[in-house]
């Protein structure tokens, strides 16, 4: 006995036919039924820019999987509007600190966006214990001569941690030959990327089968670079006064213990909170410094 198609299937086929019939000549699909959002609310597909690159290395958009991965990250990061605006504001404040350190070390300027996707330019702590703008693990920081303990954690020192990131990236670039693989190794580790390259017998990140996190890492890096480099193209509207800016500072060298940092701050006509905002690497209200190490404490220029 011949069965009749369920009503919901019939209705779905009718709807699909209706949509295709109402497709306009420019291939934009139109819908004339009821709208469940504001009449002015529209979500537009994003066209992938031509000649995308990272650190001068081109992205093979002609490969379908790469195209789809890039499309995903551009969409997600464009339409996460509040986060995008915050990144633009913070970049104005912190890129002037990061950029000259990258340049001095011969690391491409594009790597400043790596700090953006790692931490959002915030001194955050990851579930695995990585800290600071560059999300350094404790072991990595110590291997690169940063002090990490309950009293002082130099992973929160932007200048010092940026230098460690540069050292890592230069080592990775020497190992893999491309800046793209160096960037991928920042997420998956030098040994992790090296094992995958050896097992899969490829030489390009874009030919490498990796996990979802590392698979999204480079496309997200490139998408954030594109959006922050051309924010107006992606609908971000702001004035110069909306941005955050670095406050002029000067440094004081200290090579002795500080028994009470709050009292130390008062000596410079600021409070404990202000001093900690400029020196988040100081983790307690005192500085042990039994070794008489030279520390450079940053203070706001009040003049």
Query: Can you tell me the mean pLDDT for 23-49?
Result: 76
In whole angstroms, what separates CA 260 from the centre of its chain? 36
Q: Which helix (H) or strand (E) holds 299?
A: strand 295-300
How many separate helices (H) and strands (E) can be counted in the chain?
11, 4
Please give the angle made by the CA atoms of 244, 248 and 249, to the nearest 5 degrees.
Answer: 125
What Rg do the C-alpha atoms of the chain give, in angstroms?
A: 25
> Does 125 score more than 50 pLDDT?
yes
Tell me the per-residue pLDDT of 197-232, one tens digit each, with 9 for 90 and over. Answer: 999 999 999 999 999 999 999 999 999 999 999 999
**So what's the pLDDT on residue 39?**
80
> Does 7 score more than 60 pLDDT?
no
Query: Can you tell me the mean pLDDT for 158-179?
Result: 98
Query: Can you tell me the mean pLDDT for 41-48?
Result: 90
**So what's the pLDDT on residue 33?**
77
Distance CA 277, CA 285 (A): 13
**So what's the pLDDT on residue 10?**
47
| pLDDT tier for residue 30 given thresholds of 50, 70 and 90 | low
Where are the alpha helices (H) located in 230-271, listed in sequence order? 261-266
Least confident interval from 26-35, 114-123, 265-274:
26-35
**So what's the pLDDT on residue 42?**
84
Tell me the per-residue pLDDT of 83-109, one tens digit each, with 9 for 90 and over. Answer: 999 999 999 999 999 999 999 999 999
Cα dist from 199 to 179, 203, 215, 223, 242, whole Å: 21, 11, 17, 29, 49
184 close to 172: Cβ distance less than 8 angstroms: no
Query: Can you tell me the mean pLDDT for 288-297?
Result: 96
Distance CA 187, CA 119 (A): 12
| pLDDT tier for residue 19 given thresholds of 50, 70 and 90 | very low
121 close to 115: Cβ distance less than 8 angstroms: yes
**So what's the pLDDT on residue 21?**
46
**CATH number of the domain located at residue range(s) 53-242 in this protein:** 1.10.530.10
Distance CA 290, CA 287 (A): 9
| pLDDT tier for residue 29 given thresholds of 50, 70 and 90 | low
Q: How many CB atoms lie within 10 A of CB 289?
A: 16
Residue with tokens 């404990």: 272
> Does 20 score more than 80 pLDDT?
no
């Amino acid at each position: 006995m011949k069965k009749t198609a369920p009503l919901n299937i019939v209705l779905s086929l009718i709807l699909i036919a209706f949509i295709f019939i109402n497709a306009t000549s420019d291939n934009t699909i139109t819908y004339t039924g009821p709208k469940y959002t504001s009449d002015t609310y529209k979500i537009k597909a994003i066209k992938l820019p031509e000649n995308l690159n990272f650190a001068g290395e081109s992205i093979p958009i002609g490969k379908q999987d790469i195209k789809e991965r890039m499309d995903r990250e551009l969409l997600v990061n464009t339409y996460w509007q509040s986060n995008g605006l915050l990144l633009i504001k913070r970049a104005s404040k912190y890129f002037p600190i990061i950029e000259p350190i990258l340049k001095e070390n011969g690391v491409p300027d594009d790597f400043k966006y790596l700090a953006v996707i790692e931490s959002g330019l915030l001194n955050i702590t990851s579930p695995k214990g990585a800290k600071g703008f560059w999300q350094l693990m404790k072991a990595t920081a110590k291997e690169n001569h940063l002090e990490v303990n309950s009293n002082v954690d130099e992973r929160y020192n932007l200048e010092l941690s940026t230098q460690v990131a540069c050292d890592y990236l230069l080592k990775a670039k020497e190992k893999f030959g491309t800046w793209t693989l160096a960037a991928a190794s920042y997420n998956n580790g030098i040994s992790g990327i090296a094992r995958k390259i050896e097992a899969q017998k490829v030489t390009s990140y874009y030919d490498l089968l990796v996990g979802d996190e590392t698979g999204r890492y480079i496309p997200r890096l490139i998408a954030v670079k594109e959006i922050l480099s051309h924010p107006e193209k992606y609908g971000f509207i702001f004035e110069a006064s909306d941005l955050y800016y670095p406050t002029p500072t000067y440094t004081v060298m200290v090579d002795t213990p500080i028994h009470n940092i709050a009292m130390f701050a008062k000596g410079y006509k600021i409070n404990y909170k202000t001093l900690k905002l400029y020196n988040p690497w100081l983790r307690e209200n005192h500085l042990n410094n039994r070794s008489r190490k030279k520390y450079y404490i940053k203070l706001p220029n009040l003049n």
